[in-house]
Structure 1
Amino acid sequence: MSAEVVMATEPLGRRNEHLYFALRNPKVAVGMSIVLLFLLVGLIGPFFMSDNPMEYVGPKSQAPNGEYWLGTTYFGQDVWVQFVHGLRSSYLVGALGGGIAFVIGLTVGFTAGYRGGLVDELLNMITNVVLVLPALAVLIVISSYLEVRGVVTQAIIIGAFSWPWVARAVRAQTFTLRNRDYVDLARLTGKRAPQIIVREIMPNMASYLLMSMILLFGGAILFAAMLDFIGLGPTNAVSLGTMMQQSMAWSSLHLGAWWWFVPPGLAITAIVGALYITNVGLDEVFNPKLREM
């Protein structure tokens, strides 16, 4: 068998091996099942209910029953409708915020690690500046000055301050990979830096990049929930965090209206916890020493 065929089949073999162990790993299976279940509810649910989650539809503070699955708010709004729309908003913030941070972190990390020299020093300085900023305080200040806050705006703000740790980790790994034989061979064949990074270096970091994206996704959801809970969430949408903020603002705990704040709180906990469990399971899949045979 020729060397070219061997090199082509090895990555495919590794992918099949990782997929095999991922399907067998209970942490990955349970974690992804929870995440996908909530995702499906958030995506499909709004098509079968009111487009306005703030609509007054029933009696005030109605406990859960056959008509109102999660009861109603202090104002007579359907908590189930708000919950489903809130899931969609929270997932959107997580995907956009995490995605923005992921792209920025990869761009800065790969560029700094591969180029080195003055470029590395400049990008490393920018990364350190953003890293030492009190991210939550900055997010609070920026959000408080925006009169109209939407889900997309919130995601952009979160993503702009969540990338430094990814950039530093990618930079460090790129430093160790840029002088490998296969990278030197790619340079000799005339490939440009972006091609070498995408085709030679990035595939060797695929497992770490996947787990980083999962952590960024969960982190963005948590960041958004914190901003929502202190009253700096979207002004034109409902999210899981804003549901909890509204329930606390109108003393649902003291009134015994547990159905207003327990579902969004449990959903945030379950989603972020499931992402963490999935990440631990993937670490076992990609690291042969941790696999449970």
Structure 2
Amino acid sequence: MTTSVTPDADVIGKRSEHLYFALRNPKVVIGLTIVIGLLLLGVIGPFFLNNDPNEYIGPKSEGPSGDFWLGTTYFGQDVFSQFVHGLRSSYLVGGLGAVIAFAIGLSVGFTAGYRGGIVDELLNMLTNVVLVLPALAVLIVISSYLEVRGVVSQGIIIGLFSWPWVARAVRAQSFTLRNRDYVDLAKLTGKRAPQIIIKEIMPNMASYLLMSVILLFGGAILFAAMLDFIGLGPTNAVSLGTMMQQSMAWSALHLGLWWWFVPPGVAITAIVGSLYITNVGLDEVFNPKLREM
């Protein structure tokens, strides 16, 4: 008597295997621990703070103490309060930018790669146009023309210019996968193009798509930090980038107020670096040849 293994069971088995190796991979564990830890601080922390991040509540330029864990700014604002709210804003910009870029890149890439022909040529031309645009310069111009800049608008702008490389990579993968036997079989059973893409092609690219989201997330946080640092950050919120911009604008480095600019700089480096480490670890998890046994 023979036992048959259904495709669903095979997928579940692969997921369990990947989860097992992910939990054993130190890069994935350390990277996610740092990213999730800072995320929780940014999400939960503001609920335990009684003061507004821009409120003048203490003595000016005071170093870290029991009353002010990360000291105060040149104007007497609580740096820890700004840091916690800044984490929330930076994660929001990164998440929103990554989701928008991923959705556009996925839609353009799969449509171009699966359809081919004139549709592929038009979408590929659009992708190349956006790809050759100096993204940072365009973001600077757009941001400078906005009278009120918020975290959400910043995330949307970043997402609209971060998708081309995802679209090109997904398009190339779709070209390869669209001629596989299981895709031909799905066509014979009467499945429509969206169903085939979602149920047949996407699962075979799941690992690559997951790592793409991580890279987009880290890239969006860096883009936002660059805009913030040159004075084009949110006008109605505090972010890690605006903290660094304000500290540099008021000569915190020369005045020795290290507690004003070091925490946000370390946090940005830790988040982006941890995302990169996580990505490397996931590559080892999904590629059996790279696994450390």
TM over 0.5: yes
Q: Which residue of 1 aligns with 2:233?
A: 233
Give the secondary-structure state (helix, strand or coil) at the position aligned to 2:38. Answer: helix
Q: Which residue of 2 aligns with 1:6?
A: 6
Q: What's the CA shift for 1:150?
A: 0.2
Aligned equivalents of 1:223 and 1:176: distance in 2?
A: 32
Aligned equivalents of 1:40 and 1:142: distance in 2?
A: 31
Q: Which residue of 1 aligns with 2:136?
A: 136
Q: What's the CA shift for 1:7?
A: 2.0
Map Cα deviations across residues 69-124 of structure 1 (whole Å, 9 max, x no partner): 00000000000000000000000000000110000000000000000000000000
Q: Which residue of 1 aligns with 2:62?
A: 62
**Any conservation in 2 of the 1:50–1:81 contact (CA below 8 Å)?**
no
Q: Which residue of 2 aligns with 1:153?
A: 153
Aligned equivalents of 2:51 and 2:41: distance in 1?
A: 15
Map Cα deviations across residues 15-56 of structure 1 (whole Å, 9 max, x no partner): 110000000000000000000000010010000113521000
Aligned equivalents of 1:273 and 1:232: distance in 2?
A: 24
**Any conservation in 2 of the 1:59–1:72 contact (CA below 8 Å)?**
yes
Q: What's the CA shift for 1:8?
A: 2.4
Aligned equivalents of 1:148 and 1:173: distance in 2?
A: 40
**Any conservation in 2 of the 1:113–1:174 contact (CA below 8 Å)?**
yes
The 5 Å alignment of 1:15-94 reads: 15-50=15-50, 52-94=52-94
Among all aligned residue pairs of Structure 1 and Structure 2, give the percentage whose two residues are the same amino acid.
82
Aligned equivalents of 1:24 and 1:266: distance in 2?
A: 27
Aligned equivalents of 2:226 and 2:47: distance in 1?
A: 28
Are 2:123 and 1:117 aligned?
no
Q: What's the CA shift for 1:2?
A: 6.1
Aligned equivalents of 1:124 and 1:265: distance in 2?
A: 37
Q: What's the CA shift for 1:198?
A: 0.2
Aligned equivalents of 2:46 and 2:7: distance in 1?
A: 47
Give the secondary-structure state (helix, strand or coil) at the position aligned to 1:61. Answer: coil
Q: Which residue of 2 aligns with 1:188?
A: 188
Give the secondary-structure state (helix, strand or coil) at the position aligned to 1:33. Answer: helix
Are 2:86 and 1:97 aligned?
no
Give structure 1 stretches of 5+ with no counterpart: none
The 5 Å alignment of 1:123-272 reads: 123-272=123-272
Q: What's the CA shift for 1:6?
A: 3.0
Counterpart of 2:14 in structure 1: which amino acid? R
Q: Which residue of 2 aligns with 1:287?
A: 287
Counterpart of 1:225 in structure 2: which amino acid? A
Q: How many residues align?
A: 292
Aligned equivalents of 2:261 and 2:9: distance in 1?
A: 52
**Any conservation in 2 of the 1:101–1:159 contact (CA below 8 Å)?**
yes
Give the secondary-structure state (helix, strand or coil) at the position aligned to 2:149. Answer: coil
Aligned equivalents of 1:151 and 1:252: distance in 2?
A: 25
**Any conservation in 2 of the 1:57–1:77 contact (CA below 8 Å)?**
yes
Q: What's the CA shift for 1:9?
A: 1.4
Give the secondary-structure state (helix, strand or coil) at the position aligned to 2:53. Answer: coil
Give structure 2 stretches of 5+ with no counterpart: none
Counterpart of 1:105 in structure 2: which amino acid? G
Question: CA 1:256/1:115 → structure 2, altered by over 3 Å: closer, same or farther?
Answer: same
Q: What's the CA shift for 1:234?
A: 0.2
Aligned equivalents of 2:167 and 2:209: distance in 1?
A: 11
RMSD across aligned C-alpha pairs, in angstroms? 0.8
Give the secondary-structure state (helix, strand or coil) at the position aligned to 2:6. Answer: helix
Counterpart of 1:231 in structure 2: which amino acid? G
Aligned equivalents of 2:6 and 2:60: distance in 1?
A: 68
Aligned equivalents of 1:117 and 1:282: distance in 2?
A: 34
